[in-house]
Structure 1
Amino acid sequence: MKKIYALSICLVFTFLSCKNDAEKKEKIEISEPVAVNETAKESLKIIPISHATMVLTMGEQVLFIDPVGGAKAFKGQESPTHILITDIHADHFDLTTLKEIYNGKAKIIAPKAVAVQLPEALQPNLMVMENGDSKKINGLLIEAMPMYNLRKEALEFHPKGRGNGYIITWEDEKIYISGDTEDITEMRNLEGITKAFVCMNLPYTMPVEPAADAVLDFKPKVVYPYHYSGKNGMSDIKKFKNIVETNNPSIKVETLGWYKKDQIIKDK
């Protein structure tokens, strides 16, 4: 009888211990600030910094996308191997931040409109890419995509040919970063995209509805709304998610923490 009682006590403690461990694990997974793709040989990590700025870690490669906000914005991040810049506006290109985070080794990839503004100290590892260019760098295939406005009232913001969106191919991942664009033909015709970062803010890029419609055309596996703070506040990303997932449930819309509450970002 004593043995049975002792065994019962052990089982209760074991159950409670497992339950506590499970609860701890659940809390950690919920609060984890990155999206992780576990299907690649080495996991892809997506770390939102703010608005258009993010860090992508692909194995040993660490990509800073449109780094702004000073070195403090990247505290705790690994040193970059690549720095990709899409356009000349201050929410994408900040020279002070570049100088603070540049480690002397990272490849800086940028359109010509950005490259001409870089000082000599940042030139040695500079790679200028124009729309349509593609380069293989350290196991990554990087393609420069067009990004531009379509609406007549917005043409002055992003003329065709000045800035770059990017497609980054690594392992089984094909990642599209839209940059500042509208629902252009080049976006709608994309194929094989596994993850897409799509902008939507007025008056600078596009409304939610055309953004969703374009995503339904090129059918990425996962889409992340980003760059959705505009002149009049935040775009309705819940509406975007509803349009996309209602019309094509195979496309997953994931939201990440890009902004502090009520933060408004302006392109100019």
Structure 2
Amino acid sequence: MKMTLLALLLATTCAAVPVFAFEKDVIETSAGPLEITFIGHGSLMFRYDGEVIQVDPYSKLADYAGFPKADLVLLTHEHQDHLDPQALRKVRGDQTAMILTQRCAEKIGEGMVMQNGDARKVAGIRIEAVPAYNIVHKRESGEPFHPKGAGNGYVLTFGDKRVYIAGDTENIPEMSELKAIDVAFLPMNLPYTMTPEMVADAALRFHPKVLYPYHYGETDPSRLTYLLRNHPEVEVRIRSMK
């Protein structure tokens, strides 16, 4: 009996966090509210106009069985903390659309592939695939952690608001071409993506109105707030996105 109770306690303690426990923000758009759920790491959920959108769902962060079925899933690249078959099985329904990269499609054998520069409308939402890659941070072999052309960032249009989900990237030159970004999610985990200084530089290339550092691991996000202290046009919002 004691062993049964202990096993139950351990299972409960180790279980992924349920959906209601996560922080949420609401962004007002011309077509109604956009609700953002901050699941953690690189994982986000959006609710908009009756649609549910999952970005890089990852089972270690949440019990996705407790989430509503997604109308749209976005995968930024093929690494296991962004492409998680177990989480995908739980969030997808019969009508779920899935946008992903070529490498992701090769791993799971399905989905709508978007290359850098592609644009399309899915579930009533305009989606633009933009580059996401490393220039500085590389493996011991000299290969970038995220090679150019392999991963996607996404710009989503919700009414009059444009939301940029950068994926795993550095402050690449293409960020200077981003226009009218209202909300941006920029990664800040080392050694795979950006330092706070790189994120600050990226933000000052395209000036999002709201900036969320995400996928930041053990990096202190308050450093970014300090770096952008003299730029009130960029509102830095810190949420639990380790």
TM class by shorter chain equals 0.7 to 0.9
Alignment-derived partner of residue 7 in structure 2: none
Q: Provide closer, same or farther for how the CA distance between residues 102 and 152 of structure 1 changes in structure 2, counting only shifts above 3 A.
A: closer
Checking the alignment, whether the CA contact within 8 Å between 2:102 and 2:114 is kept in structure 1 is: yes
Structure ID, larger Rg: 1
Aligned partner letter, 1:127: M
Alignment-derived partner of residue 6 in structure 2: none
Q: TM-score, length-normalised on structure 1?
A: 0.77
Post-superposition offset of 1:78: 2.5
Aligned partner letter, 1:129: M
2:175 counterpart (184, 187, 194): 187
Instruction: Provide the rounded CA distance (Å) in 2 between the counterparts of 1:177 and 1:41.
Output: 20
Alignment-derived partner of residue 237 in structure 2: 254
> Can you give the 5+ residue segments of structure 2 that lack an aligned partner in the other structure?
1-20
Instruction: Provide the rounded CA distance (Å) in 2 between the counterparts of 1:151 and 1:42.
Output: 40
After superposition, where does 1:14-93 map in structure 2 within 5 Å? 33-69=23-59, 72-93=62-83
Instruction: Provide the rounded CA distance (Å) in 2 between the counterparts of 1:211 and 1:33.
Output: 22
1:218 counterpart (206, 230, 238): 206
Q: Secondary structure at the match of 2:98?
A: strand
Instruction: Provide the rounded CA distance (Å) in 2 between the counterparts of 1:66 and 1:44.
Output: 18
Instruction: Provide the rounded CA distance (Å) in 2 between the counterparts of 1:241 and 1:198.
Output: 13
1:19-60: CA deviation from partner (whole Å, max 9, x where unpaired): xxxxxxxxxxxx982111134431100101120001011111
In the alignment of these two chains, the number of paired residues is: 219
Choose between structure 1 and 2: higher strand proportion.
Answer: 2
Checking the alignment, whether the CA contact within 8 Å between 1:187 and 1:218 is kept in structure 2 is: yes
Instruction: Provide the rounded CA distance (Å) in 2 between the counterparts of 1:242 and 1:71.
Output: 28
Instruction: Provide the rounded CA distance (Å) in 2 between the counterparts of 1:37 and 1:98.
Output: 26
Aligned Cα RMSD in Å? 1.9
Post-superposition offset of 1:247: 2.8
Instruction: Provide the rounded CA distance (Å) in 2 between the counterparts of 1:91 and 1:138.
Output: 25
Checking the alignment, whether the CA contact within 8 Å between 1:70 and 1:96 is kept in structure 2 is: no
> Can you give the 5+ residue segments of structure 1 that lack an aligned partner in the other structure?
1-30, 260-268
Choose between structure 1 and 2: higher helix proportion.
Answer: 1
Alignment-derived partner of residue 120 in structure 2: 135
Post-superposition offset of 1:187: 1.5
Post-superposition offset of 1:152: 5.6
Aligned partner letter, 1:171: G
The answer to whether structure 1 residue 196 and structure 2 residue 181 are counterparts is no
Alignment-derived partner of residue 236 in structure 1: 220
Alignment-derived partner of residue 13 in structure 2: none
Instruction: Provide the rounded CA distance (Å) in 1 between the counterparts of 2:105 and 2:29.
Output: 36
The answer to whether structure 1 residue 96 and structure 2 residue 81 are counterparts is no
**Which segment drifts farther, 95-104 or 234-243?**
95-104
The answer to whether structure 1 residue 158 and structure 2 residue 146 are counterparts is yes
Post-superposition offset of 1:180: 0.4
Instruction: Provide the rounded CA distance (Å) in 1 between the counterparts of 2:137 and 2:224.
Output: 23
Checking the alignment, whether the CA contact within 8 Å between 1:48 and 1:258 is kept in structure 2 is: yes
